[in-house]
A and B are shown apart, each in its own frame.
Chain A
Amino acid sequence: MTVFFFLIKEGFKGLIRSQYAGLFTIFIISISLILIGLGFVISRDMVFAVQKLKSQFELEVFLKYAATDREIEQFYAMLDSMPEILHASYISPDSAAKRFKKEFGEDIYSILDYNPLPPSFTIELKPIYRNVVSVEGIIANIRKNPIVDEVKYRRNLLLTLEKYQRIIFVIATLIFLFFTFVSIVLVSNSIKMTIFARRELISTLKLIGATNTFVKVPFFIEGALEGIIGAIISCGFFYALTYVVNNFFYHFVYYKIQLDLKFYVGLISLGFLFGLIGSLRTVGKFLGKIG
C-alpha cells in the first residue's frame, strides 16, 4: 500500500512540479477540446439544419371540387395506409378559407362571392422518403386516384437539398476530423515536452531500480489530471458561449446552441483519455529509448 499511495501522491505532486509545462499541457488540452467541441457543434448543426429544412418539406394534394365526403374519407384511409406517409391532414374548403383570411387578411367571400379553394391534404413523409425519386413514386401513386386534381411540392428545394446534403455532410465531417487531428497533434507534442522536461527524473528512477510501472503510473495520473482540468476549462468555455449566444445574439442570428449533459461528459471523458493516452504513449517511447 505504501507504494500505491506514494505513486498516487507522486502523480498529484507531478502536476505541481511540472509548473509551466503542466500548465501549458492543460492549456493545449482545453484549446484542443474547444476546437473539437466547436467542430462537433458546427458539423452537428449543419446536418441538423439540412434535416430541419427537409422536415418542413410536405406534399399538398388538391382534390377535385366534385369529390364527395365518402370519396374524401376513402382517400384519407388510403393515405393513412401508405407506409411512406408519416402524417396526412385534411383541409376542407372552409378551413382553407379561414387560413386564407388569416394569411392574407381578407375574406375570400368578400372578393369572389364563392369559395374557390378546393378540399386538400397536406402530407408529411417519413424522413427516408424525403427525396425526389421516392416523392415522384408516391405522387404517381396518389394521382391514380380519380378525385386528385393536382399534387404540389417544392421540387427545387428538395433537389437543392439533395445536391448539397452530401457536400455539407462531407464538409461537416472534415471540419470535425480536422479539429480532432490538430488537437491530437497539439496534445501529444505538449505532453512530450512535459515528459522531456523530466527525463532526468525518469533516468534517475531507472538507475535506482524502478520498474517501468513505477515510472509510468505517476505520469498517467498526472496526464489524466491535466486532461480533466483542461476539459473542465473547455466545459466552462462552452457554458459561457452557450449563455452569451442564446441570451444576447439569438435575436440577430436566430440560432441557439443546444448542449446537453452528454456533451459535457463527452468533453471530460475525451480530456481524460487525451491526457492518459498522451502520457502513456510518450512515457512508453521515452522508457524504450533509455532502456
Chain B
Amino acid sequence: MISFENVTAIFPRGAGVKDINLRVNSGDFVFIIGPSGAGKSTILRLIYMDIFPDKGKVKVYRYDSSKIKEKEIPLLRRKIGMIFQDFRLLNDRNVYQNVALSLYVSHVKTREIKTRVYEVLNSVGLGHRVHYKPDELSGGEQQRVAIARALVKSPIVLLADEPTGNLDPKVSAELMILLKKINKEGTAIVMATHNYKLIDYIPDARIIQMDKGRIISIS
C-alpha cells in the first residue's frame, strides 16, 4: 500500500531523510520514532506528497511520486487521513462543519455527508458536541474532531504527526485507545512520535526508529 524505495529527500538547510526503504501494508500500525529532527515528519510529508524525493520513489496506493501529476495530488490526499499535534481545525466553523469539509472536498452528496459525519462523530464520542466551535473544546476533544475529519472519508491510511504532543498523559492514553480501535477496524496507521511510551499501547505495532534522517532499526 505504501512503499519507499531508496528515498532521499534533503531540504536546502540540510535536514531531511536518506536512503529510506520501508513498506506499510493494509491494517498495519507503524510507529516512526526518534528525536526531534530525525526525519519522522519528513516521512509523513513524503507519503502525502507535500514534498518529493530527490532520489528514489514513494508509492502510495496507485500513485507514484515519480509520475504523479499535480492535479492528482488532491485525489491522493482524499485517500489519506491526517492528524497533527496542533489539530489544524478551523475555528470559524463548528465541529460538524469541520468534519463535513472533508466530504465536500471529495464531492460527496449532502444527504450522505450528514449521515457519515454523525456516524463518525458518534464513533469518536463527540456526537453531543456537533455544534461546538473547536476553541470551545478541550485538547483531547479537538484531537478527536481531527480524527473524525480524517476518518470520515474512509482513508486507506491515517497519518498521525505527534498527535499527543499537546495532550496530557491521561488524554493521550484515551487517544491511543481510540487509535487502536480504529486500527482494529482495518485502517492502517502511521504515527510519528518522539514519545516512546506510546508504543506500549499497541504491542503488535511495527516500530521504525530513526536518527539524523536515517532508519536505524525496524522491528
Contact B50 A209 (CB under 8 A): no
**A210–B108 CA distance with the chains assembled, in angstroms:** 13
Contact B105 A214 (CB under 8 A): yes
**A2-24 with Cβ < 8 A to chain B:** 2-3, 6, 17
Contact A3 B90 (CB under 8 A): no
Give the chain A neighbours of B82 by CB distance below 8 A: 207-208
Q: Is A185 an interface residue (CB 8 A)?
A: no
Q: Is A205 an interface residue (CB 8 A)?
A: yes
Q: Give which listed residue, A6, A207, A209, contacts B88 with CB less than 8 A.
A: A207
**B82-131 with Cβ < 8 A to chain A:** 82, 88-90, 92-93, 101-102, 104-110, 113
- Flag B33-51 by CB within 8 Å of A: 1 or 0 each: 0000000000000001010
Contact B92 A17 (CB under 8 A): yes
Contact A209 B105 (CB under 8 A): yes
**B150-166 with Cβ < 8 A to chain A:** 153
What number of A residues sit within 8 Å (CB to CB) of B? 17
Contact B77 A209 (CB under 8 A): yes
- Flag A85-115 by CB within 8 Å of B: 1 or 0 each: 0000000000000000000000000000000
Give the chain B neighbours of A214 by CB distance below 8 A: 74, 105
Q: Is B78 an interface residue (CB 8 A)?
A: yes
Give the chain A neighbours of B69 by CB distance below 8 A: none
Q: Give which listed residue, B74, B88, B90, contacts A210 with CB less than 8 A.
A: B74
A-B contact count (CB 8 A): 52
Interface size class of B (residues with CB under 8 A): 20 to 34
Q: Give which listed residue, B77, B107, B109, B110, contacts A207 with CB less than 8 A.
A: B77
Closest Cβ–Cβ distance, residue A7 to chain B (whole Å)? 8
- Flag B182-197 by CB within 8 Å of A: 1 or 0 each: 0000000000000000
Q: Give which listed residue, B71, B78, B90, contacts A204 with CB less than 8 A.
A: B90
**A176-212 with Cβ < 8 A to chain B:** 200-201, 203-211
Give the chain A neighbours of B88 by CB distance below 8 A: 200, 203-204, 207
Q: Give which listed residue, A203, A208, A291, contacts B102 with CB less than 8 A.
A: A208
**A209–B78 CA distance with the chains assembled, in angstroms:** 5
Known contacts A209-B74, A211-B71; decide if A201 and B90 are in contact (CB<8 Å). Answer: yes
Contact A291 B75 (CB under 8 A): no
Give the chain A neighbours of B113 by CB distance below 8 A: 2
Known contacts A17-B92, A200-B88, A204-B88; decide if A210 and B107 are in contact (CB<8 Å). Answer: no
Give the chain B neighbours of A17 by CB distance below 8 A: 92-93
Residue with the greatest number of chain A CB neighbours at <10 A, chosen from B92, B102, B113: B92
**A201–B92 CA distance with the chains assembled, in angstroms:** 9
Q: Is B149 an interface residue (CB 8 A)?
A: yes
Q: Which residue of B lies closest to A201 (CB)?
A: B90
**A206–B48 CA distance with the chains assembled, in angstroms:** 11
Contact A2 B104 (CB under 8 A): yes
- Flag B49-86 by CB within 8 Å of A: 1 or 0 each: 01000000000000000000001001111100010000
- Flag B11-24 by CB within 8 Å of A: 1 or 0 each: 00000000000000
Give the chain B neighbours of A201 by CB distance below 8 A: 90, 92
Contact B105 A208 (CB under 8 A): yes
Contact A2 B110 (CB under 8 A): yes
Give the chain B neighbours of A6 by CB distance below 8 A: 104
**A2–B109 CA distance with the chains assembled, in angstroms:** 6
**A3–B71 CA distance with the chains assembled, in angstroms:** 18
Known contacts A3-B107, A6-B104, A291-B50; decide if A208 and B90 are in contact (CB<8 Å). Answer: no
Closest Cβ–Cβ distance, residue A41 to chain B (whole Å)? 40
Closest Cβ–Cβ distance, residue A211 to chain B (whole Å)? 5
Give the chain A neighbours of B75 by CB distance below 8 A: 209
Closest Cβ–Cβ distance, residue B68 to chain A (whole Å)? 13
Interface residues of A (CB under 8 A from B): 2-3, 6, 17, 200-201, 203-211, 214, 291
16 A-B residue pairs with CB within 8 Å = A2-B104, A2-B108, A3-B104, A17-B92, A201-B90, A204-B89, A205-B105, A206-B74, A206-B77, A207-B77, A207-B82, A208-B77, A208-B101, A208-B149, A208-B153, A210-B74
Interface residues of B (CB under 8 A from A): 48, 50, 71, 74-78, 82, 88-90, 92-93, 101-102, 104-110, 113, 149, 153
The 4 closest A-B pairs by CB, nearest first: A209-B78, A209-B77, A210-B105, A209-B74
Q: A6-B104, A204-B90 are in contact. List 13 more A-B contacts (CB 8 A).
A: A2-B107, A2-B110, A3-B104, A200-B88, A201-B90, A205-B105, A206-B77, A208-B105, A208-B153, A209-B76, A209-B77, A209-B153, A214-B105
